[in-house]
Chain A
Amino acid sequence: MDYSYTLLILLIPFLAFVFIGLAGMKFKPVVSGLIGTVGLGLVFMLSWYTAWQYFFVGGLVDGEYPKIIAMSVDWLHFSSSLTIRMGILLDPISVMMLVVVSSVSFMVHIYSLGYMKGEKGFARFYSFLSLFTFSMLGLVVATNIFQMYVFWELVGVSSFLLIGFYYQKPSAVAASKKAFIVTRFADLGFLIGILLLSFFTQTFDFEILTRSDHSIFSNAASSTFMGMSVLTWSCILIFMGGAGKSAMFPFHIWLPDAMEGPTPVSALIHAATMVVAGVFLVARMFPVFYFQAPDALDVVAYVGGFTSLFAAIIACTQYDIKRILAFSTLSQIGYMMLALGVSGFDGHEGTGYMASMFHLFTHAFFKALLFLGAGAIIHAVHSNVMQDMGGLRKYLPVTHITFLIACLTIAGVPFLSAFFSKDEILVAAYHHDKLLFAVEFLVAGITAFYMFRLYFTVFWGKERQYHHTPHEAPRVMTIPLMILAFGSIFAGYLPFARLVTADSRPFESHLDFGIAIPSVLIGLAGIVLAWILYRKESSLPERIVRSLGGFYRMVYHKFYVDEIYLFITRNIIFNYISRPVAWFDRHVVDGAMNGIGWITVTSSKMIRGLQSGNVPQYGMVFALGAIVLVLVFAFLIR
């Protein structure tokens, strides 16, 4: 089977980036947009073709899906044992991610033709979108952890560039810096983890790291550090990188601020693709985690579970619709992390892994849909804040229906896609850890509540005073909404357990009604509660808020995590570390340099006085000098 054409999947967005970036200003903006969109259309088709060929034409080899290296070149050659390669690895998760990334990216490209119309920097926007798509695709097909790291940083850069797209806005600049610094800090852990792991195993290759022969780990098994094996440490550090990119607690602070970027960017990068890179990373390294570092896997599960609850509670109190969606993203990624953390490896044991990937897949559709829908709402009312919205269902019929579908999906209403994936996650959690199951069960209810709080306030509720009558978005924006709505309804019917599993061997999964029915009920309870509170404008929510008092304020301020970060950085790091270092730099290092400069300047000033330009004076000095020399030679030296 020849998969070499998959190289085009990477090359097309890259060339689009270079071309639009260099020549974009020469054309009308729409030309850049069309180039990017058409290129992504090709990538989209190629990705689906790859998936079809991989799963259905190539299919199973000896009962499992093979890992195929479609291409591999030596990129850096240091020595025979240290060579860094760049390549394309096709296996179930990377093929699935190709499909997810290219589909959502394609939809966002089309949508942005309408949403970004008339914006300054339209071409720049499209070139960055192409750069992001290239980096993300390169990340998912990475054959080794080093290549992944390279593309990992590239997606970080594109995220930075796109969050800061409105670079005249101070808040956007601050948000982009925050995102960059927080994820970079987490990536430090990732890098150390990579170094540790590759030092002990002598390889970067995923294929070698994840093969069933574990002999490469024998070196590392005996080394321990602070009571844990180095493999556990390296896995935890690698997870730290993943947690940074996926905005898990305590690195979640950048994601809500990242909503300063244009809404299509939030849909693509900060909902559907880049933020799940952390989940993808853990999934990619899953055999290492599972066999070598089960403790690290527990860390993954608990961090995921905690973040999902934490973010869901905060989401109930926010008013900015994009921020609500951001917290909901955190919560859903927490679900995926948790599912990976509780997963086993073989066959049915691997339900958690399968469920995590499944949820990643369905989440990409419905969350991209939610964000693009939010974009359409913002487009109509020119505000992000919920208090400025209400009764929009009459004005935005298409947005309303698709948004409702997405809300129902995320709430876990039966027979929509997330119902299936969430059910699998709950099943996996139930069999592993009852506490985590209880948390996720609760979160399912909260999720339904806050999504419908958003839905009812925006689309029902009281009509507001609008600047002009809100109007439905143009067709170029509503068509992607419809396609994504279709995806979020039907993506759940893919037989995921037969395609993407931990050990690459298909198994049969079926609904567990003992868990599915209660989870649906709690979801419905959340919806009903939101209906009672927000269907009509009433004073009820106000009174509840007042009775909660301090707790509400704490949640509203996101548990003061940002403030704690600021306190630590401003008061502790800045005062006690940065100040002395800055003082040393300014006074000792700069002082030495300034001293040298000062000496040169002063001495040259003194010497300059000698050159007066007065010729007789020169003559006198010359004559006196000659006389002195004569005297010296005449009397002193004989």
Chain B
Amino acid sequence: MIEGIPITHVLIVSAFMFFAGICGFIVRRNMITILMSIELILNAVSINMVVFNKYLFPDQLQGHFFALFIVGIAAAEASVAIALIINIYRRLASINVEQVNEMKH
């Protein structure tokens, strides 16, 4: 239990993280950075899960489990994404996301 910190503060932090992630996802061109932005978004969501669980239903654990799930999925996603990025780099010698539009057709 985190004493004396109102829920809104924590939520504001997570909202900042979330929108920072969205912003990075949209604005950045480097794919590694985009991947990091996605991690930010996911972490913001896990914070929300934990916080809501803690403040609203202190005697239950579903939110924690979800947070753990998200961490696991984020790890898996990061490994797949990095594998993809390495392959793209081998092909195009670049990890600029604007050049990776070959498969649009």
Count B interface residues, CB 8 Å.
14
A615 to B100, CA, bound (A): 8
Stretch at the interface among B19-27, B45-53, B57-65, B67-75: B19-27
Asked whether any CB of chain A lies closer than 8 Å to the CB of B40, the reply is no
B93 at the interface (CB under 8 A from A): no
User: Digit string of B77-105 for contact with A (CB within 8 Å is 1, else 0)?
Assistant: 00000000000000000000110111110
Interface flag for B44 (CB, 8 Å) = no
Chain A residues with CB under 8 Å of B97's CB are 614-616
Query: Do the beta carbons of B26 and A620 come within 8 Å of each other?
Result: yes
A616 vs B100: C-alpha distance when bound (angstroms): 11
Least CB distance, B1 to chain A, in whole angstroms: 30
A623 at the interface (CB under 8 A from B): yes
Q: Which residues of A contact B102 (CB under 8 A)?
A: 613
Say yes or no: is B34 at the interface (Cβ < 8 Å to chain A): yes
What does the 1/0 interface line of A608-632 toward B look like (CB < 8 Å)?
Answer: 0001111110011001000000000
A612 vs B27: C-alpha distance when bound (angstroms)? 16
Q: Is the CB of B22 within 8 A of A614?
A: no
For A613, list chain B residues within 8 Å (CB). 100-104
Give every chain A residue within 8 A of B29 (Cβ-Cβ).
Answer: 616
- Give complex CA distance A507, B100 in Å: 101
If A619-B22, A623-B22 touch, does A612 touch B104 (CB 8 Å cutoff)?
yes
Contact between chains at A616 and B26 (CB < 8 Å): yes
The residue in chain A whose Cβ has the minimal distance to the Cβ of B27 is A616
Residues of chain B with a CB closer than 8 A to A616's CB? 25-29, 34, 97
B70 to chain A, nearest CB (A): 18
A616 to B26, CA, bound (A): 5
Contact: B101 with A619, CB < 8 Å?
Answer: no
Complexed CA–CA distance, A323 and B3 (Å): 119
* Bound form: Cα–Cα A620–B22 in Å: 8
B104 proximity list for chain A (CB < 8 A): 611-613
Query: Separation in Å of the B41 CB from the closest CB of chain A?
Result: 10
Contacts of A612 in B (CB 8 A): 101, 104
Question: Which A residue's beta carbon lies closest to that of B25?
Answer: A619
Please name all residues of chain B whose beta carbon is closer than 8 Å to the beta carbon of A615 when the two chains form the complex.
Answer: 34, 97, 100
B26 touches A619 (CB 8 A): yes
**Which B-chain residue is minimally distant from A621 (CB atoms)?**
B26
In Å, the complex CA distance between A427 and B98 comes to 102
- Shortest C-beta distance, A625 to chain B (Å), equals 12
The residue among B25, B29, B102, B103 with the most chain A CB atoms within 10 A of its own CB is B25
Across the interface, name the chain A residue whose C-beta is closest to B23.
Answer: A623
CB distance from A295 to the nearest CB of B (A): 75
> Given the complex, which residues of A lie within 8 Å of B101, measured CB to CB?
612-614
**Residues of chain B within 8 A of A623, CB atoms compared:** 22, 25-26
Contacts of B98 in A (CB 8 A): 614
Task: Name A623's closest neighbour in chain B (CB-CB).
Answer: B22
* Chain A residues within an 8 Å CB radius of B26: 616, 619-620, 623
Cα separation A619 to B101 with both chains bound (whole Å): 14
A611 to B103, CA, bound (A): 10
Within 8 A of B (CB), among A198-240: none
Whole-angstrom distance from the CB of B63 to the nearest CB of chain A? 21
Of all chain B residues, which has the CB nearest A626?
B22
In the complex, A615→B35 CA distance in Å? 12
- B2-41 CB contact bits vs A (8 Å, 1 = yes)? 0000000000000000000010011111000010000000
Whole-angstrom distance between the Cβ of B88 and the nearest chain A Cβ: 11
Query: What's the Cα separation between A612 and B100 when bound, in Å?
Result: 10
User: Please, which residue of chain A has its CB at the minimum distance from the CB of B19?
Assistant: A623
CB distance from B66 to the nearest CB of A (A): 19
Q: Which residue of B lies closest to A620 (CB)?
A: B26
A144 to chain B, nearest CB (A): 63
Name the distance in Å between A279's Cβ and chain B's nearest Cβ.
Answer: 70
Which residues in window 582-631 of A have CB below 8 A to B? 611-616, 619-620, 623
Q: Shortest CB–CB separation between residue A611 and chain B, in angstroms?
A: 5
* Nearest Cβ on chain B to A199's Cβ, whole angstroms: 63
Q: In the complex, A619 Cα to B25 Cα: how many Å?
A: 7
User: A359 to chain B: closest CB distance in Å?
Assistant: 77
What's the nearest-Cβ distance from chain B to residue A631, in Å? 15
- In the complex, what's the smallest C-beta–C-beta distance from A606 to chain B, in angstroms? 15
Q: Return 19 A-B CB contacts under 8 Å, by A number.
A: A611-B104, A613-B100, A613-B101, A613-B103, A613-B104, A614-B97, A614-B98, A614-B101, A615-B34, A615-B97, A616-B25, A616-B26, A616-B27, A616-B28, A616-B29, A616-B97, A619-B25, A619-B26, A623-B26
When A and B form their complex, which 10 residue pairs have the shortest distance between CB atoms, in order from nearest? A613-B101, A613-B104, A620-B26, A619-B25, A616-B26, A623-B22, A611-B104, A619-B26, A615-B97, A614-B101
Beyond A613-B102, A616-B97, 4 additional pairs, beta carbon < 8 A? A612-B104, A614-B97, A616-B25, A623-B25
